[in-house]
Structure 1
């Protein structure tokens, strides 16, 4: 398997973990909030989500937003925006071979594969 493929598989796993974690924090009133600064605010959101019975919509929203953030980060690594002018970021595999410079174009397939296999 190519380094790009392995990298994006790992990114997809991380994405899936954080979608699950964020969803749990916002929808499970027994969730431990020790790592969060605004416990009162989170508890208010939990109550509102429970009252509106929109747990699935919350998970879908978190999933889509975080997938967009991942795509934007990959595009930045690929050299879009201001990074395009400085070209200061290069990802290489353990053998020093550069990864493709269009990772953000490969992300949607990994995102779709992870959501269909969840």
Structure 2
């Protein structure tokens, strides 16, 4: 993994972590939910998910789902789904025009990157 690929993975992990934290924080009844289109649904969950154990379980599920979505998007960028039959997607450095897909399967390396981060 080169520095540019690591920067991509850092950003994806930070996005994942931000939205997991936001979703868990939104279970606090005092949280302003103006950002969400699902305020009523959060209020339902606020009344159901209250203990620390329940919040941790919710956070783990959110983390897993967001990782899955990121993985699926990276598979699409890597050309591993039906979109590749019609379109090729790429992430390219603006200055060097170098592809971030060079010698790497982003969807596989992202999971390896996350495993390494979680071990630290």
Q: Could you state the TM-score of these two structures normalised by the residue count of structure 2?
A: 0.84
User: Structure 1 stretches of 5 or more lacking a match?
Assistant: none
| SS of residue matched to 1:32 | coil
Q: In the aligned structure 1, how far is the partner of 2:35 from the partner of 2:48?
A: 21
How far 1:42 sits from its partner (Å)? Answer: 1.1
Partner of 2:100: 99
- Per-residue CA deviations over 1:22-62 (Å, capped at 9, x if unaligned) read 11113x11111112223222111111011795111000000
| SS of residue matched to 1:50 | coil
Partner of 2:71: 71
Q: In the aligned structure 1, how far is the partner of 2:79 from the partner of 2:107?
A: 10
Q: In the aligned structure 1, how far is the partner of 2:113 from the partner of 2:20?
A: 15
Q: RCO greater where, 1 or 2, for CA within 8 Å and sep 6 or more?
A: 1
Matches within 5 A, 1:18-29: 18-26=19-27, 28-29=28-29
Q: Which consecutive aligned stretches of 4+ in structure 1 deviate over 3 angstroms post-superposition?
A: 113-117
Higher helix share: 1
Partner of 1:36: 36
How far 1:81 sits from its partner (Å)? Answer: 1.1
How far 1:114 sits from its partner (Å)? Answer: 3.9
Matches within 5 A, 1:47-62: 47-50=47-50, 54-62=54-62
